[in-house]
Amino acid sequence: MKSNLLIIVLSILLPHLSYAQLPSLRIIDGTLRTVESGMLVVPPKDKYKKIIDSLDQNLKKSPNDTTSLFYRSLLYYSYNQKMAEPAQTTKGTLENLLIAKNMIERAISEKMINVNTKILRAQIYAELCYRFSGDESWMFTPAVIQSRRKLFETSKAKANDSYDELIKSGISETYVLEKKKVKDEYPIKP
């Protein structure tokens, strides 16, 4: 009787205590997604706080640990993507995405080459382009506009190159990946 009660209590509490696990990943329509309880949602802000702290500590000790770089980059992306922060000019999202970009590029330079890594890199660059789509000329000085335009163009080229690389690698979702390519132009005309 007591053992049955213990099993019931553990089965109820265990899902709520498993916050220290890395998020489940799934590629859906050419996009790498975190899966929460079987649903495609943005992870709750505090859910991965312990794992983020652990990843940050691990990266301080071993800055080239590809697994830590990948998951930390994924979490930066997850909390700063348009599903999580839809306004293009939300403070901090661009900076966090740039951190994610640097981390995923470092993981790739350390020879972490798999489909998830390549898809995440393409998504981060495409998301960077989205962050510039709300730029208006009254918001920035001409020098800042010029640097933002350059970053947009670089991100667009990298995103499209990444999608081309994925298409050439023979992923079955060629049509979907082709549609994900960035076709927008920087909104402030020279």
Higher pLDDT, 169 or 98: 98
**Which one, of 42, 176, 68, 86, lies nearest residue 122 by Cα?**
176
CATH of domain 2-180: 1.25.40
Q: What is the average pLDDT across 142-169? A: 96
The percent of residues above 70 in pLDDT, for the chain, comes to: 85
DSSP per-residue string spanning 60-127 = HH-TT-HHHHHHHHHHHHHHHSTTT--STT-TTHHHHHHHHHHHHHHHHHTT--SHHHHHHHHHHHHH
CB count in 10 Å sphere of residue 116 = 14
In the chain, the percentage of residues whose pLDDT exceeds 90 is: 65
Query: pLDDT digits over 34-59, tens only?
Result: 776 555 667 777 888 999 999 999 99
Average pLDDT, the chain: 86
Q: What's the pTM value of the predicted model, to 2 decimals?
A: 0.86
Give the residue from 100, 91, 90, 92 showing the smallest Cα distance to 126: 100
- Reported as a single tens digit per residue, the pLDDT across 111-121 is 998 999 999 99
Most confident of 31-45, 73-87, 97-111, 163-177: 97-111
Q: Where are the domains of the chain?
A: 2-180
CB atoms within 10 A of CB 26: 13
d(CA 138, CA 48): 38
Say if CB 187 and CB 136 are below 8 A apart.
yes
CB 184 within 8 A of CB 133: yes
Q: Give me the mean pLDDT over the 29-33 stretch.
A: 85
Find, among 70, 88, 87, the residue nearest to 34 by Cα. Answer: 70
Q: Residue 20 in 3-state DSSP?
A: coil
Residue 18 has pLDDT above 80, yes or no: no
